[in-house]
Amino acid sequence: MTRVLLFLCVLTLSACAPRGAVLLLRDVPLGAESVRSVFIATNRHPARENEDAMFRQQFGQTRDPALRFARIDISIPPAHVPGKIEWPRQAPDPARHFLARGEARYADAAAFLADLNAQGTRDEVVLFVHGYNVNNAEAVYRLAQIAHDFDAKVPVIAYSWPSAGDARGYVYDRDSVIFSRDGLEDLLVTLTGDGQRVLVVAHSMGSQLVMETLRQLSISGKGQVLGRLSGVALISPDIDSDVFVQQARRIAPFPQPFALVTSAQDHILDLSARLTGKPARLGQIRNTEALDGLPVDLIDLSEIEGGDRGGHSTAFTAPAAISLLRSLDQDL
């Protein structure tokens, strides 16, 4: 119990720290920075904010039945360190900070797809589903960092579901996962119906959202959408292993390749496991013996050093993990 209380204290204190927000830098010419366009599909309500403010959030934590579409162009500083997000400060420096250089909001899915297709060089996109305790700006900046560090050759999309963006909002976020299944289903139907193949990458609680949505697609007879997925990767999945097996058994066709990226050193999942009364979560397993023969590939990062303090984002914060994963999939 002492360990659980300690983790709760750490999470509560982290919630009091300043949260990420988009800093839109206008009318400043690009130098040596590279730019990543992050497309956004979200069922968050637009945030109420001053459009002229330096720091902006765009979308808040309130749930919205409608799916909205946007884009933010993020410049990556030449001094960027792989695995890090160099967050902008009150005195932004393009040479040192991630900065937004442009943005767009689309009236509908058709306008979103038109711009998406204009950006792409292949008929494939990467769809990233963030995890628990993530606000919209953090989801966007993280995906820009991932796309840059993994040298993604295809357009990237963030499905920004309405996490509370608060470490004390675990239950709210779990409910938001259930709320967000239809929005993610609609997005996958829209993307695949436009001829795109979709590589789905989910982190933490976002993995639960992906599994529930894939199961929903299968049960509702939309197997053609599943057939257009070029792969699924669940990173540090915050799912009970028994639940995962039950979900997977209802998904047909089962996407291939299907990867689980895990670590026994994931201390955030330690807390989740303790709260559920189980010894471990899916994101902590080191072999597939408990997965009833499912056709999944396990990538165990337990021996990788570096990355975030809690070991929950090792796959995209530890340079050694980034190097390893890039070597496994040179086509991302």
Question: Kind of pairing, strands 34-46 and 59-76?
Answer: antiparallel
The predicted structure's pLDDT at residue 1: 33
pLDDT exceeds cutoff 60 at 332 = no
Question: Is residue 191 very low, low, confident or very high in pLDDT (cuts 50, 70, 90)?
Answer: very high
254/210 Cα distance (integer angstroms) = 13
For 309-332, b where at least 16 C-beta lie within 10 A, e where not — what string?
ebbbbbbbbbbbbbeebeeeeeeb
Contacts of 274 (CB under 8 A, 6+ apart): 3, 4
The predicted structure's pLDDT at residue 276: 84
* pLDDT tens for each residue of 101-155: 999 999 999 999 999 999 866 789 999 999 999 999 999 999 999 999 999 999 9
Contacts of 6 (CB under 8 A, 6+ apart): none
285/270 Cα distance (integer angstroms) = 12
Residue type, 299: I
Whether the full predicted model's pTM is greater than 0.75, yes or no, is yes
Q: What tokens does 222 get?
A: 């939309």
Give the residue extent of every domain in the chain: 2-328
Beta strands, E only, 111-220:
124-129, 156-160, 197-203
Beta strands, E only, the chain:
22-23, 34-46, 55-56, 59-76, 99-106, 124-129, 156-160, 197-203, 229-235, 258-262, 297-300
Q: What tokens does 321 get?
A: 């993990």
* pLDDT tens for each residue of 48-81: 765 555 666 689 999 999 999 999 999 999 999 9
Strand partners, 126: 156, 199
CB contact at 8 A, 177 and 205: yes
CATH 3.40.190.80, domain 2-328, yes or no = no
Residue type, 227: G
